[in-house]
Amino acid sequence: MTVEQNLLPGKLAERTRRLTSPDRRVALHWCRLDDDEPLAGALAGWLSSAEHARAARFGRDALRRRYVIGRAMLRAVLGGHLGLAPGDVPITRGRRGRPTLGTAGGPDFNVSHTGGVLLAAVGDGVTVGVDVERNGRTIPTAGLARRCLSEAEREDLAPLDAEQARRRVLRLWTCKEAMSKATGDAMSARFARLELPAGFLLGRASNPKTWEFGAMYQKIEKDALFAQLIDSDFAGGVSDNEGYVVRAGFAPVRNWVLNATYFINQRNVERQNGFGQTEVDYNRLQLDFNVKF
């Protein structure tokens, strides 16, 4: 069953589009939440009793209808990935109230909305988190930078004017909030201990005989809450590390990708005598083969 087959009734299909994802394991869906009373009424039957109860708590009818449309669109997207009717998608609450699917071995998902848009991510074998914000949103730039940015990220703001700094802080905050939604830590996460990966990706290995190449730098401080999101191959999957990842991929045929990834990492480990730490190189070459069915 395709997503398009699920996005009914009415003109619901016109409200959503698939975005290009930076990772082949993650599907991104962008949805419009324009207020539409007849559409909200038609879609209300897809929602669970818990969702209906939450909708009833909205004080304004327009907000209530937007919530109903948003949940219905999320259910349509998830139903397309699961092969289920939207009303049959088993959305539950997991650790720390994080939404999850009540199906063994099913995909992970996350959702965010602001104003009249909704962004949903569905991860196949990977934990996902998303956050969407208006680019023009007014924020307390200096205060947010002190609370959420690392020392190096705050230093990078120095040469920027006020508008450039606002945009930079908003972008970093949005990325870190998305990561905290993946872990379920939400606003209790220690944003200032995390420096976001910096890197690039060229090309996309998808069609036959196509290549992709990418590199990134990442630093995770000791005991950062986001350590659970680290690639288990990056410095052994622990915190208090930094380094580079260089990756190349080649698709010999469609949906078959050969990957070569080189991890150039440094880990800080406790000395055996218990006095201080020492830096240890952690370099690995990883070869893998991905097949998408």
Mean pLDDT of the region 111-120: 91
pLDDT in tens, 14-45: 888 898 887 888 999 999 998 889 989 999 99
Run of H or E including 242: strand 241-253
pLDDT in tens, 62-74: 999 999 999 999 9
Phi, psi of 253 (to 5 degrees): -140, 170
Sheet strand arrangement including 117-123: 16-19, 26-32, 117-123, 108-114
- pLDDT higher than 90, residue 275: no
Lookup: tokens for 56: 């009833």
10: left (phi over 0), alpha (psi -120 to 50) or beta: left
Lookup: tokens for 111: 């959702």
- DSSP per-residue string spanning 109-172: EEEEEETTEEEEEEESSS--------TT----HHHHHHHHS-HHHHHTTTTS-HHHHHHHHHHH
pLDDT of residue 4: 38
pLDDT in tens, 155-181: 989 999 999 999 999 999 998 888 888
pTM beyond cutoff 0.85:
no
Task: Please give the Cα distance from 187 to 199 (Å, whole number).
Answer: 26
pLDDT of residue 268: 74
From the CB of residue 79, how many other CB atoms can be counted at a distance below 10 Å?
21
- pLDDT higher than 80, residue 96: no
Buried b / exposed e along 39-60 (16+ C-beta atoms within 10 A): bbebbbebbeeebeeebeeeee
Give yes or no for a cis peptide into 140 (omega within 30° of 0).
no
User: pLDDT exceeding 70 applies to what percent of the chain?
Assistant: 84
For the chain, give the longest Cα–Cα distance.
Answer: 71
Contact status, residue 23 vs residue 126, Cβ threshold 8 Å: yes
Task: Please give the Cα distance from 142 to 166 (Å, whole number).
Answer: 9
